Structure 1
């Protein structure tokens, strides 16, 4: 994940040139890092996020503003639920930790839980205060609850700060990441896509904590480790009562680590760009209005290959621009990653439709072509009311 010291100056210079002179890099949070891991093949997002480009402002300048994000109502509901989970000093939260991650362990009483003050000046100070609190809690050998700790990690040669909802220190020196979400868990099961997104986000926190755990073990002489399972806390059924589930994040952690390692090679992606490529919006004096022509920006953005899929609409500010380009090219990826895998060597929607219609250039032994022709025959039969007989030539 780290960049060699020799490459840092040249990398930072490259990233500055991509952002534009005087443009401050946009910091990456856990959601952005988790979204990177969800689409590891997208060189466009890797480069823009690695360079700290404001993708939201870029999308607006391109005429394809992002339309996703939480509403104020959802944010207020989430904050209200988190406050309930952490009420009474977090005793209910610790009860859920013991119930889901350490069955048979009695929940600690109020006076047995340390709740360190993590306030400090600036993100660097807060991250340092968090690391100190984790060392002290681990050395003490008791329970501790860290509310919104700030963790530092290096991404593409630049510091990034991530903030989990909570971290619990166990008496054995292990640490648990806690993710509190406002989507419901009905009959013990939550929406799989939302759970997956929460697991990827928790994996980012686990990676950030692992570096702190190494230093903690070295300073305290006590083993310090980050647990492979995070605790996901959600409302139970249709109430506002908290329930929880343990989520194994080992797979997501490995995927995120690989994707973050790719970010340290954004200089290789940048080296393949045409000379002078930049994503600078050239804002007017008001600091809001871009003066650079949208055509120039689109040319710069399209110089980096993307890996668009419909899932990007919920995770990337540039998704609408990428979708429009994907549709213009007729790429099958615009219909979904799963379909892209099933179609094999058929790269465009036009090729797939031609194969389904019996085009002579399509390989009849290709399983994808056979499946398309069968589907086309079934559709034609359904529309005509005639069911094809077994062995009937359906592409005449």
Structure 2
């Protein structure tokens, strides 16, 4: 009798979903926390079910890529990591006073000089305990005395993503005497003559928007601007700039709502699918391929599995390997083979604008090569 793997029924409860995600991760593997960097990358590509499920299950994608044998350079160097920690330690060294000064200067705050700066302890066992301590600290900050600022260093926030809770840890959150809460991101890349790398600033803004979204869920007033703290020029002295979050916050909120619920993705998988990195590479490859991906070249800078997904996209001739803009221009043509067939009149609807453009391009290329007499004209 042939055994047929059937999808599991949809998980109805949060507890059931967590058990299923633990099964997918494999026994003996603690969940890898989903940070704001990964969440902002996920929000930028909400159509990728593969990343949504792997991140939601807490799978170590670096270990998974290594087990698949397709791993490229990814993440910060140890030097950059150490430099970032050293700079952040300097920023926090004076008990939050420097962060408050930078925030007031960057936002042109005209309120009276601070009567004091409180830095509550938000340490606790486990992310749930730290999130509870953070909520209590925010409530206490709202009741602080007149003129007292509160700085929460590495608080723990919680955000619902695709039906599962995700814990997030911003560098700091400042609470003004009027209750306004500001996300603070401390980065090790420099601000040179008032200008920083646009790509790095953009990534920091996306992360800050994720933190702001989690802060909103706790109530209270969240500032439209985040404070970006970086080294000034080539020194290790901190400088700061206020960055507007409103546009990015709206984009992240919209993209997160588009994510398919993890329970729905998990329910479509056969019972024996597992991403346990201790399994043979052949089984892991089959498990990964069981979940649809939405690869784009931008994934190379944001996902540990990007090199695996790229090789699979190239092997199948998927046009997504050429980039999202190209994919959008080609309409319903999904593979390179389909594109070439449409360009040479062997397939495709002539009334389709994409097909018509391809045929015109092919005709112009043939005429140009024919005029030059090159062998490629044939």
- TM-score range relative to shorter protein: 0.7 to 0.9
Q: 2:354 aligns with which of 364, 368, 373?
A: 368
Number of aligned residues: 362
**Residue 266 of structure 1: aligned partner:** 262
Q: Which residue of 1 aligns with 2:110?
A: 105
Is the partner of 1:361 in helix, strand or coil? coil
Give the SS at the match of 2:189: coil
TM-superposed deviation, 1:137: 1.5
Distance 2:362 2:84 in 1: 46
Among residues 49, 53, 64, which one is paired with 1:58 in the alignment?
Answer: 64
Alpha-carbon distance between aligned partners in 2 of 1:274 and 1:248, rounded to the nearest angstrom: 45
Match of 2:73 in 1: 67
Residue 135 (structure 1) aligned with residue 131 (structure 2): no
DSSP 3-state at the match of 2:315: helix
**2:238 — aligned with what?**
242
Separation of aligned partners in 2, 1:361 and 1:161: 50
Bigger shift: residues 293-302 or 179-188: 179-188
The aligned counterpart of 1:338 is 325
- Does residue 347 (structure 1) correspond to residue 334 (structure 2)? The answer is yes
Do the aligned residues in 2 keep the contact of 1:108 with 1:143 (CA within 8 Å)?
A: no
Are residue 359 (structure 1) and residue 355 (structure 2) matched? no
- Give the alignment of 1:112-261 within 5 angstroms: 112-140=116-144, 141=146, 142-155=148-161, 159-212=165-218, 214=219, 224-257=220-253, 260=256
Cα distance in 1 between the residues matched to 2:113 and 2:122: 21
Task: Give yes or no for contact 1:47–1:263 (8 Å, CA) kept in 2.
Answer: no
Secondary structure at the aligned position of 1:244 is classed as strand
Gaps of 5+ in 1: 215-223, 282-289, 387-394
Task: Choose 46-55 or 123-132, whichever is displaced more.
Answer: 123-132
Deviations 1:106-135 (A, max 9, x none): 6845x5222223334443433333222221
2:85 to 70, 79, 83: 79
**Is the contact made by 1:234 and 1:244 (CA closer than 8 Å) also made in structure 2?**
yes
* Structure-2 change in CA distance of 1:160 and 1:190 (3 Å): same
TM-score normalised by L of structure 1:
0.79
Aligned equivalents of 1:45, 1:375: Cα separation in 2 = 36
User: Given the alignment, which residue of 284, 288, 294 partners 1:307?
Assistant: 294
* Distance of aligned partners of 1:336 and 1:156 in 2 relative to their CA distance in 1, 3 Å threshold: closer
How far residue 245 of structure 1 moved from its aligned partner, in angstroms, is 2.9
Listed as ranges, the matches of 1:280-291 within 5 Å are 280-281=276-277, 290=278
SS in 2 for 1:317: coil
Matched residues in 2 for 1:87 and 1:375: separation?
62
Call closer, same or farther: CA 1:360–1:65 in 2, change over 3 Å. Answer: closer
1:276 to 259, 272, 294: 272
Q: Which sits farther off after the overlay, 193-202 or 237-246? A: 237-246
Per-residue deviation at 1:325? 0.5
User: Distance in 2 between the 1:237 and 1:379 partners?
Assistant: 50
Specify whether residues 355 and 194 from structure 1 end up closer, same or farther in structure 2 by C-alpha distance, changes over 3 A only. Answer: farther
TM-score (norm 2): 0.83
